[in-house]
Structures are given as C-alpha cells and as structure tokens.
A and B are shown apart, each in its own frame.
Chain A
C-alpha cells in the first residue's frame, strides 16, 4: 500500500518538530515522492547522516512501502 504525502509529513514532523517539510508527488502514484526537509537537527551532520535521520523517522518504510523518496535535507541558514 503506497504511502500518502500527509503520512510522510506527519512521521517526519513527529521526529523533527521544528522542521519545514515540502513533499511533491512526482508521478501521482503515491510511490515516487520528492521531499525537502529543513531542520536545526541537521546542523553539523553530513548528508548521509541527515538522510539516515529522516529514514529512521520513517520507521523502516524507506525502500519498502515507500519505494522512492528523492530527499533533500539541510539545516536552516544561520542568521
């Protein structure tokens, strides 16, 4: 059962309450999403670590229920 964008957003926001999350359904099939996450929790982390943090928030669904998630993560710009 493919995931809904809202479910992905909820899971990520549960793990990163400060995050801004933008999700785009690339093909309208609920299986190929692009997702941009900005959170202070990523500060000082490598890209691999940042993505692993998001995958953990998705509770093992990445690669299974969620086939494709083009992920972009970043910390908010230091102002």
Chain B
C-alpha cells in the first residue's frame, strides 16, 4: 500500500540526488548482503550516492515496493528512474552496462 504522503516523499527523495539507493542499513553499515553488494559496486565505481535506510521507516520500506512494483530491497534509482535491485545492478556491472548508463546520464563512473 502506498499513501499519498509516502509517495510524495519518495518522489522527492529519488530526485534529491543523481544516485539514490534504498537499502537496509547505511552505506557505512549495510545490514544486508544484497544492499552491501550494491554499495560495493557504487563505491568501486566512485559514484557518489545517497543511501536511504528503509529499516528506519516501515512506510518507506513497504511504500517503495509498491512505488516501483519491485518486491525487494535494495533498489537503485538514477536521476529519479528505477534501475534495478541487486541482481540487475550486479549483472549490468559485469557487462559494463552500468558504467555506460551512468556516463550517458552525465555521472562519472570510474573504477579506482
């Protein structure tokens, strides 16, 4: 279920920065292997991002799943658009599509 207030907040949050990651825990202390994996990929590519800890707010934790019609966390958003969860981000990283996607959207993504 997604109430209007949560929907509005999500719409603002996903545009608050170029790259936003809804995750369990924080970038410094991820509390789930899948969230940690996406943090690892973004860190490796030196892509700055905002981590939103869904464990702090159940309405966001459930609301984001209805918002994107995606049943799990983490969820990666780039320039307000849903990119995928852990599987898709990892697959795109391995094929090079992730770096390409960042660069075509004007976001520098260079491995250290």
Contact = CB atoms under 8 A, between A and B. Distances in A.
Interface of A: 47-48, 51-52, 55, 60, 62-64, 68, 70-72
Given A47-B91, A60-B71, A64-B71, 5 more contacts: A47-B92, A51-B70, A51-B88, A55-B70, A63-B71
A47 B71 contact: no
B24 to A, nearest CB: 12
Interface residues of B, number: 15
Contact of A47 (B69, B72, B84, B86): B84
**Residue among A48, A60, A64, A70 with the highest chain B CB neighbour number at 10 A:** A48
Contacts of B83: 48
B11 interface: no
B71 A55 contact: yes
Given A48-B84, A63-B71, A72 B91 contact: yes
Contacts of B84: 47-48, 51
A52 B86 CA distance: 14
B88 A47 contact: yes
B82 interface: yes
A70 B91 CA distance: 11
Nearest to B65: A63
A71 to B, nearest CB: 5
B34 A68 contact: yes
B108 interface: no
A7 to B, nearest CB: 17
Given A47-B84, A68-B34, A62 B71 contact: yes
A64 B92 CA distance: 25
Given A48-B82, A63-B65, A71 B87 contact: yes
A51 B82 contact: no
Contacts of A60: 71
